Structure 1
């Protein structure tokens, strides 16, 4: 966990020093394993005025492997009704899977999620939400998502 710890300590320091994207707030970052952020989209979007919580979990393979990122669905939080967000908070986002690169950071993931949400034209769940929910693993990293929508 040495490389992961060093990288995460630097990222957390940078986020606390102003590298946090506009519209994002750190809700919890007491250790280097689980961080929770509040996120909202900017401008005129279908989610204007709504706030969501995202949980990042890091293992000792970070930044070689992507973090586990989910929308928090508890304690008064809900997942946004977005075409790439399942009702349990799992995200189907290629940068958290096949297109992850170690040069990406927590900040870049937050920006990507803000962009994904801002591009939504209407509130809707993924077409396979009900089927996915019946068989969803605990971690979205254990899902085999098919990334086919490059318009988001």
Structure 2
């Protein structure tokens, strides 16, 4: 069973459920610009459409994020990956894994789905090149069999993109 499949079989804690219900209401009232959540009754997995920001390399491009919430959300970060064809970006691997510190080491329970989405859009918008990470092929090969990006020991060293 893959990590994401195992994750979706667990139930959310009461705290996580209450928090996600609150975030969902806030999203419906005030969604972050450039994002649209696909309607679903699955509170533990959100599929979010991302529109590339105007004036950036990704203008007029659309991508999908899959956000899987762990049982202990918001104390533990959600797993966020790009679906289908991930954007060509120095911090986004072709398997959809995202190298962004707030999804791992710098996660804070004060963060929300909206703030994560805004950070991802900011990361996309600030890119000056459309290219895969230098170690893409090696990383993707090592992630076969459903390995979660949360199992990776990321090295956050490039704050230019």
- Whether 1:55 and 2:58 are equivalent positions in the alignment is no
Aligned counterparts, 1:134-145, within 5 A: 134-136=141-143, 138-145=147-154
SS of equivalent to 1:138:
coil
**1:40 CA displacement:** 1.4
What residue number does 1:122 align with?
129
Is 1:106 aligned with 2:94? Answer: no
- SS at 1:87's partner residue? coil
Cα contact 1:28–1:37 (8 A) shared by 2: no
Distance 1:132 1:49 in 2: 29
| 1:146 counterpart SS class | coil
Determine whether 1:96 maps to 2:96.
Answer: no
Q: What does residue range 39-50 of structure 1 map to in structure 2 within 5 Å?
A: 39-50=50-61
What are the superposed Cα offsets for residues 16-54 of structure 1, whole Å, 9 maximum, x if unpaired? 111x11110011432221000000122211111000000
Taking the aligned partners of 2:116 and 2:109, their CA distance within structure 1 comes to 12
**TM-score, normalised via structure 1 length:** 0.93
Q: Residue deviations 1:63-90, cap 9 Å, x none? A: 01100000012xxxx1000010000000
- The answer as to whether partners of 2:54 and 2:60 remain within 8 angstroms in 1 is no
Aligned mates of 2:41, 2:155 — CA distance in 1: 34
Structure 1 gaps, min length 5? none
Q: What TM-score do you get using the length of structure 2 for normalisation?
A: 0.88
Contact 2:79–2:103 (CA under 8 A) maintained in structure 1: yes
Which blocks of at least 5 consecutive residues in structure 2 are unaligned? 1-12
SS in 1 for 2:140: helix
Q: Give every structure 1 segment of 4 or more consecutive aligned residues whose post-TM-superposition deviation is greater than 3 Å.
A: none
Q: Deviations over 1:66-120 (max 9, x none)?
A: 00000012xxxx1000010000000000000100000000000000000000011
Cα root mean square deviation, aligned = 1.0
Give, in whole Å, the separation in 1 of the partners of 2:142 and 2:46.
26
